[in-house]
Every structure is written in C-alpha cells, then in structure tokens.
Chain A
Amino acid sequence: MSRVLIVAKRVLTQLRHDKRLLGLSVMAPLLIIYLLKIFFDTMPKGFNNARYIMPITAFMVHFLAFLLCAIVLVQERTAGTLERMFINGFRRIEIIGGYVLGYILLATFQAIIALAEALWLFDLSYAWADLAMLFGVIWLLAITSVMLGMFISTFARHEGQVFPFIPLIILPSVFLSGLLINPEQLPTWANWLGHAFPLFYANDAIQEIIGKTPSASVIWTNIVILLGYGLFLLTLASRTLKDVE
C-alpha cells in the first residue's frame, strides 16, 4: 500500500509542478459550463436545462480524466520512466493504484468545482442527499475514465496516438449515451452500442436523480454497473500494462 501512495504522491507532485496543465484541466470545465450557460440562455423559457447540464458536467470530468491519464501514461512509456519504475521494483498493481489515487484527487476537485459552478450559474437546487448522489456518480465515472485512459494508453506509442481514440470512443458516447436525447429513440443497434459506454450508466443515474420521481433501484443498478465497468477496465489495464516486453 505504501508504494501505491508513493506513486500517487509523485503523480500529484508532477501535477503541482505542471501549473499550466493543472490550470487548464480546472479552467476548461469552468469555461465550458459558462459557454453552456450562454447557449442555454437562448432557449425558450421553461426549457429543461438540468436534463442536459448535469450529464454534460459529468461528461467533461469523464473526458478530461480519460485524456490526462492516457497522455501521461503514454509519456511514461515513451520517456522510459514506466520501464524504470518496474526495474526499480514497483509492481503493476502499485503503479495502477497510484495513478488511480493521484488522478482521483484531481477528478474529485474537478467534479466539485464543475458541479458547484453548474448549480450556481443555472440556479439549480437539489436536496443534499441528491447532490451527494450526483457527486458520487460523477466521481465514479471519473474513476472509470482513469481506468479507460490507462487501458487506451497501451495502444498508443506516442501522445499523438491517443487523440484518434477521442472520435472513436469519447465522441460516440456523447450521441449514444442519452446525453442529448433519450437513447430509446435511437435505432436498436445504436441503443445497444450506447450501453458499451460508461457515460450511458452515469447519465441514466443522473437523469433518475434529477427526475421528478427518482427510482432508487434504477440509480443503484446504474451505480453498480458503473462500478463493475471500472473493475472490468482495471482488470484489462492491469493485464495490458506490461512490465516485460
């Protein structure tokens, strides 16, 4: 466990030193939420903003956590520091654990400020219990995104090769996960494909939490699936993060 903390501490120290990256990863969601505010202000009165705002906030945390983790891990590989970590005695599970822990702290911070700004700008108010649930879902999605980033990083030989995965994995989830429309309106195959994205379950849980008649069983089912998704990706990431060529 102590070596997991050592890796996490190093990830956080690096982030602290890289003020530009840290600043951008915090400022970007804030800016996008502000732009969303301008966009939704053009909608007719009575338009259900919340149905879009909360899932989009979750999406931004998901996207940034995925991208940052994938790029930094590819950098580790190309710079030779990942190989050096292994040869210095760090084990696979310690490296993965350290990364998850390090990025979770960043993702938590992102989730808190993005959620706070969205609530404030759009004048949304929820019961504390619902807010805690919303935060929990976004946080869980962020963990899954870190795992997804870690898994995807194994397919990229340099940072540039991470970007093709954005139109391949991240963008389709915007259209198929129910972020913009009810996925049941999609053709059956597209609806099924939507189930392959973690954002689908996060969105389903969020819509239920902010809906008029929330169903605890739907919320918890989605949370459990999201957890399972995270564990599945963790297994994949730990199998693909190789310590021997």
Chain B
Amino acid sequence: MNAVEVRGLTKRYGNVQALQGIDLSVPEGMIFGLLGANGAGKSTLIKALVGALKPNSGDWQVLGLNPLRDQAKLRALIGYMPQGVALYEDLSARENLRFFGSAHGVPELEQRIGEALEFTELTNRADHAVYGFSGGMKKRVSLACALLHKPRMLLLDEPTAAVDPHLKVRSWQLFRELANAGTTLFISTHLMDEALLCDRLAIQQAGQILIVDTPQAILEHGQTQLTIQQAGQTSTHQIASTPSALAESLAGYGLNPAVQAIALQPDSLETIVLRMLQKSEVAQ
C-alpha cells in the first residue's frame, strides 16, 4: 500500500489556485521529498494530507485513510511538524512534549519524552523555556513533538529551514534512521542539496507537480558542461548528465572503451564548509 495516494487535488484561496490538480503516489518506508520554491504550494499540500485543510476537489488518502473523514484515526498514525515551530515558548521543551504527547495518550509518556529528547539531542536543555532556544533547537523540539507517539508516517514542512549546517546534517541523519526503522517521511524543502538526500523527489511549482522520480534520475534530466584541455587547446561540450554520456564523451579522448560509465559526486558547498568547520573545531 502506498503511504500517500493523491489524484486531482485542487485548492483555491480566493483568486489564488494553490493546488492545481495534484497527482502523487508515495510508497511506504521511504524519504519522499517535495521540492519547490516559496509559494509553490508545498505547505498547502502537506496541510491537506494531515487533514488541516479542505481541498476544493480531488481524491486523497494517507495510509489508506481519508484525512477529513477518518481524521481521528489518521492523526494517531501521523506526526506533523509545521513550517513554523508551533511550540509554547513559555514552556520548557519537556512541558511542550508532555502536552502534545498527552493528546495521543502515549503509554509510558515520560519514558518516551526522555527517548525523544535524547534522539533529538535535547536532554541537557529539556527543562529550559523554549523562548531561549536557537531556531535550530526549536525545530528539534518541534520534531521531538512529532515523534513522541512513534507515528507510521512523518510529514515535515521545511524542517531544516534556517538551521545551521551542523544541525542540518544531524537532522538528516535522524531522518535516515527513522526511515531505516520503517517510518515514511514526507519532507518539503526548497533546498536543492537536501532534496538529493531523499529516496524519491517531487518538484512542485505553482501548485503543480512537474516531475516525480529519484533525485539521480532527475539530475540526469540536466546537462553537464565538459571542458577538456589537450595539447594547449580547450574544447567545451554539452553532454547529458548521465555516467554513460561522460564515458562516451571521454572515449574520443582515449578513454579505454571498456569504461562504460563515470559518475562524479562532488561535495556541495555546504558539505565543504561543514568539513572546514569541523577541522577547525578539532584544531582548537
């Protein structure tokens, strides 16, 4: 069964058509990314999936349930992290978790709170008021709130927006751990480098899904500029962004014809900066 099945979903706010006939299938147990610019309709789609919004038309199911008709059943199975932190800032991280966790009737709640705090590396600040936390820490409290009842599916709306590179890397490690344990993650983002970390990716623009595929397959839709210097001469070629196209192009420059594919995976600028920061911390 697919975790999400959406057919022809539309939502209009006044004159703005936020969702224009969305079709989407998300298999269970993977990290599914929804990539799009601000205003593309990502949050609207997520809100429709969690039953916080009534679409104008279309069929949509999450974990086999209708988000509006089966609201109570579905909400016990999903965890939702909104784009804003949506926490009580006067309360401590632990008090926030206790409040939101108690709604689900989580058994052995205090133990689960301890586990969620540990998982999100917040144990040391658990009893501090949230208003003194950094943006990244608030996001982690928000994530911990969504995790408390061990949901089958997590819907995270831009979970790492405005989060520093270290926390971002740590968050994605957490997401991967959850996916490995069988949780389906539906994550919206506008950050390209994050999108590459998903198992499957949908690109959304102006309320429409442009493409759904693996990040690698989407990258292969692009072109790579290949520049070769040989005997003092520089030649530039536009080639397809596939490992086989690179091998094919280099064959003309004497590459062993037995080599069929060459794939390069350069670090992103973020990864490079993060590594530099880590090196500097070790040196200090």
Contacts and interface: CB of A to CB of B under 8 A. Distances in A.
Judge: A and B partners, yes or no.
yes
Interface of A: 3, 6, 10, 13-14, 17-18, 79-81, 83-90, 243-245
B51 A88 contact: no
B157 to A, nearest CB: 10
Given A14-B88, A80-B82, A244-B68, A86 B52 contact: yes
B53 interface: yes
A134 B90 CA distance: 35
8 contacts: A79-B84, A80-B86, A83-B86, A87-B50, A87-B52, A88-B100, A243-B71, A244-B52
Contact of B91 (A3, A14, A85, A89): A14
Interface string B121-153: 000000001000000000000000100000000
Interface residues of B, number: 31
A244 B54 contact: yes
A6 B82 CA distance: 22
A79 B86 contact: yes
B91 A17 contact: yes
A13 to B, nearest CB: 6
Given A13-B91, A84-B145, A244 B51 contact: yes
Contacts, number: 70
A121 B82 CA distance: 51
Nearest to B92: A17
Nearest to B76: A89
A88 B104 contact: yes
Given A10-B88, A10-B99, A14-B91, 20 more contacts: A3-B102, A6-B99, A6-B102, A14-B88, A17-B91, A79-B86, A80-B84, A80-B85, A81-B87, A83-B82, A84-B80, A84-B100, A85-B100, A87-B80, A88-B75, A89-B103, A89-B104, A90-B103, A243-B52, A245-B52
> What are the 6 closest A-B residue pairs judged by CB atoms, nearest first?
A80-B86, A17-B90, A88-B103, A245-B53, A84-B86, A80-B84
A158 to B, nearest CB: 14
B81 to A, nearest CB: 9
B1 to A, nearest CB: 22
Nearest to A80: B86
B95 A13 contact: yes
A159 to B, nearest CB: 14
A83 B75 CA distance: 12
Contacts of A14: 88, 90-91
Contacts of A86: 52
